[in-house]
Amino acid sequence: MLDTSELITVGERFADRLRAAPQSRLQRGAAAEGLALARELSVRAQRLEDPSGEPMIMPDEGVFVVADQLMVAVRDMAEALRFSPAGSEQVDAAVVLVQEAAARAGL
């Protein structure tokens, strides 16, 4: 089993910053970055779990929900990686995705 604790930690940090951000910052792009990341992680997790299946796209539920959507996606990705033969490089790549999205969001 792979250690995915760093992925969960950076995901929680980004989600907490999204929750604390003012509405104006969320509307200026921070929420869009969070949603794009949540969607990307969700699709990657689904492909790990079922490579032949068609991944479902996470819906846009609004700027005040995106932090929760992000954490669902981060935890799904962490769980998919823990039990896949993917290797630690995919965990590291997911951590980088989260860090880069947080930086683009200004959080």
3-state secondary structure 31-87: HHHHHHHHHHHHHHHHHHHCCCCCCCCCCCCCCCCHHHHHHHHHHHHHHHHHCCCCC
Cβ atoms of residues 39 and 73 within 8 Å? yes
pLDDT of residue 2: 85
- Residues 71-100: tens digit of each pLDDT: 999 999 999 998 888 778 999 999 999 999
Q: Is the dihedral of CA 38, 32, 25, 92 positive or negative?
A: positive
Q: What is the pTM of this model?
A: 0.95
* pLDDT of amino acid 44: 96
User: Do 70 and 15 meet the contact criterion of CB atoms below 8 Å apart?
Assistant: yes
Residue 12 has a pLDDT of: 98
